[in-house]
Structure 1
Amino acid sequence: MKIRTLLFSLIFALASTSAGFAEFTEWQNTDYDFSQVKTVYLSDMDTSSAALMATTQEQKYKEDYRKKASKIKVVKVIMAPREQPRALLPGETAASSETKAPAVAKTADVVTIPQAAIDAKADIYILAELEQCDVDSYLVPAHTEWKSRQVEENYVDKDGQLHSFYRTENYPEYVPDRDVPYVTVGVRFQWFDTKTGKLVASSEDVRRRDSENNPSSVYNRIIDRFYKNMKDTLEK
């Protein structure tokens, strides 16, 4: 029982003091000359793996990604056509409405460089995938925490003068059970050479933030880092 209590206390301490984590992995083909890249074709943000429940949230993430592309000035950046939900018109069927190729050309683990990237004479095709976007919570069990406060003390000296001073007093405070929300967001970017089809660079950015139930700010930090790193790579 004592061992189990000790383990529980250690786990709780780690969980309560951690503000989250971030894991970033990046790879580049050192034989590839990124300085020769003149045009980059960006896919729309593929959100299919994240299984977002809200269409509004999905569209906002796609739009945030598209808007930030304007930060890249070192090369010409072309964004794939935006995929946007639409209602069927009278007499229209689902099959007849699918008249254009998807903005994200990916089937299982096979990536196909879209013809639009070739037609645009792009040197690089970048596939962006939102792989994880979760909101969850963990339980912090009821416990006692020690707090401190300043307590005023008074005394009268031998001359009858009143004096005051403060001392620190420690006291226990009961904290009931509480659920702490957290979000986890992960995005992967893959860079393909349009002439050979070879993967020449990739990165994965996974972040978790505690006491948070809105993934948007975490997602945008990931997107900001991607565009910053993209700019740095193409300026070499």
Structure 2
Amino acid sequence: MKRTFTRKCASVSLALFALGASGTANAADNPASPKAQNTPALSKSSTLYGIVRSQKDQKLLGGVSIILHNKKNDTSILEKTNSQGGYLFTDLPPGDYEILVGGGNFSQSRKEGFLKAGMTGEIDFAIQMLSRGSSTLLGTITQKKGDSETPVSATIKAKNLSTHEIYTLSSDENGNYALAQIPGGTYLVQVTKNGFVPVNRKIDLTLY
């Protein structure tokens, strides 16, 4: 007997309103962009490296997203782990850092630390590989301004109401996002961005 498998794909586009707005978002409601700060030249740069493993079996995980955020300058660097689960950041100015690992088909883990000038720091992570399937959730996130909508980058969290696993990702600068290879089922999708009202929607991927 021949079986045919259908790939489920739901397109979900959501609009955000700035906090304090009631139907219309004015330019003054937009969250202020971080101000550029001049930092003195540093004689020594720092390095940060580590390994990302599976929490379940300690397997080295390649292709995992790593975001390193400099708290002082409010700047971020995005990398992915190599085939051996390793990551490396070089030429870093000293200061307070936040590092976020995972997202997509992996759970997320966050750690913080301070790098001194010329210091080499090591931070390892153990995260979970979330359940996979043949469904895809995709769409566009926009900011609502009167009758127009502007694409924005925001954080999307999709919670599978059966497994209670939470898939996390961000929309790009054009507002687009795509979460592939997830199980079918019902998801609670939440979109958040600093300075904006969170948006929640329940999506049933079994209907697609």
Give me the TM-score of the superposition, normalised by structure 1. 0.23
Structure (1 or 2) with the greater strand fraction: 2
Task: Pick 1 or 2: higher relative contact order, CA cutoff 8 A, min separation 6.
Answer: 1
Larger C-alpha radius of gyration, 1 or 2?
Answer: 1
